Amino acid sequence: MERWPTGRLLSTAARLVEHAWNEKLRGMGLTHAGVIVMEVLAVKGPTTQTMLAQIIQVQAQTMGKTLARLEVHGHISRTRSLSDRRSQVVSLTEEGERTLGLASRLELEVLAPVPVDTEKLRRELQALVRELANNHSSDAAKEIIAAADPGVAPVDISPSGS
């Protein structure tokens, strides 16, 4: 590992954390991806399946599978949009809110035995995400980060730039 580039270390660490967290979440009918969806719904409120896929940066088909699992376990509900009958509005249920709280505590357990300053690591990762989004991403990615992070100014993506 001493010779691995930072990106490989970061990617490997992320996968290992995700696997460990998924093991803890399995008993609740959740996965890491499902928790991310629930967190977005908790912050943004009900939103369409298409918007969720854009915010989380996954394909619509992948989002559909994740939502189906969450719905079967009672964590979310889906209803037809009143303004666009082709769209489904996804909402977090009361059961989903309770489960999300438990899942957040389980995430802390995954990193608890690791001898690093997790708060400092968190701040460094936030800075990394902000910088990469601002300097190396598409306008769509910048908008997503701006929506998720009030510390980032939104990007003007209008054709005229104004």
Residue appearing with tokens 């990394």: 128
Angstrom CA distances, 39 to 12, 19, 158, stand at 23, 19, 29
Just give the CATH number of 6-114.
1.10.10.10
- The three-point CA angle 39-53-96 to 5° equals 30
Per-residue pLDDT tens for 32-65? 899 999 999 999 899 998 889 988 888 888 999 9
Every domain of the chain and the residues it spans: 6-114, 116-162
Per-residue pLDDT tens for 89-107? 999 999 999 999 999 888 8
Q: Percent of the chain beyond pLDDT 90?
A: 42
Cβ contacts of 93 within 8 Å, gap of 6 or more: 74, 75, 76, 77
Residue 144 has pLDDT above 70, yes or no: no
Q: How far apart are CA 161 and CA 80, in angstroms?
A: 35
- Put simply, whether the predicted model's pTM sits higher than 0.85 gets the answer no
